[in-house]
Amino acid sequence: MDGHVRRLLNRVSIALAAVATAALLQLFRHSSSSCLVGSPAYSSLSLAPFPRTSCDAASRRVVDPDLRLAKLRSSPRWRRRIAVLSAAVFPQLLRLRLLHSSSRVLCLAAGAGQAVDALHVAGVGDATGVDLVDFPPLVRRADPHNLPFFDGAFDMVFSDDPLALPGALFPSRFAAEAERVVRHGGAIALAVDRHVDLSTVASLFKRSRVVEVWNATLDGSAASMVILRNNGTNTKQH
C-alpha cells in the first residue's frame, strides 16, 4: 500500500513539474515577443522614474553623456549656478591671485559638474570634478576621504557644495586629503553652510590658514566661502 502511494505521489510531482515548465516557457515566449521593437505596447520610452515591467526596463536607452550635459546646461538651475560662481566667487579668487587660467583645479562633491563647467567658462582648462557617484563627462567617481591623486597635484581644491565638508563622514579626513593633493602655496576654497562655526572649519585644516571669508548665496542657500592657503606645515602646533 505504501509503495503504491509513493508511486502515485512521484507521478503527481512529475506532472506538476511538467506543467510549471510549460507555463514558464509560455511566459518567456510572450515576454520576448511583446518586448520586440515596434510592439504597440512598448513603441515609446516610459517616462516613469522606475520600470514597471521587464519590458519597460529593456526598452530604456542609455542617454549619451554629452547629450545629457547639453540638456543640463540649458536648465535654469545650471545657468544660475554658473552665473553665481562667475560673478561672486571666481572674481574674488582671481583678485587674491589664487586662480589663473593655467591653474589645475580639483572640484570636490562636484555633483553633475556645474563648478567644473563654470571653471571652463571662466577660462580654466584643467578642472577635474569628483564625487561619490560619477557623472560623465565632467565628474568621475572618487572618495574624498581617499583621493586617487598624487601629493601636490593641484593648485586649488574647490567645492561649491555647502554640505561637502560638514556632511562628510570624516570631516578631518576630508580636510587632510584636500591639503595633501594641493601644492604648497596652493589654495582650498570651500562653500560652507552659514550655520557652521567657521573656527571649527579652520581647525580641521592643520597645514593651512584662512586668508579670506565672504558670504555667498548658492541656489538660494546661504553659505560662506572659506579660502585657505596651504602652508605645507602644521600651523596648529602649540
Which residue from 184, 137, 141, 189 is spatially nearest to 164, judged by alpha carbons?
189
| pLDDT of the residue at 142 | 97
| pLDDT of the residue at 13 | 74
Counting Cβ atoms within 10 Å, is residue 75 exposed (0-12), middle (13-18) or buried (19+)? Answer: exposed
pLDDT tens string, the chain, 238 residues long: the values are 566 767 766 776 787 777 778 777 776 665 545 454 444 443 344 444 445 555 554 555 677 888 999 999 999 999 999 999 999 999 999 999 999 999 999 999 999 999 999 999 999 999 999 999 999 999 999 999 999 999 999 999 999 999 999 999 999 999 999 999 999 999 999 999 999 999 999 999 999 999 999 999 987 888 999 999 999 777 555 4
| pLDDT of the residue at 237 | 55
pLDDT tens-digit readout, 113-147? 999 999 999 999 999 999 999 999 999 999 999 99
| pLDDT of the residue at 232 | 78
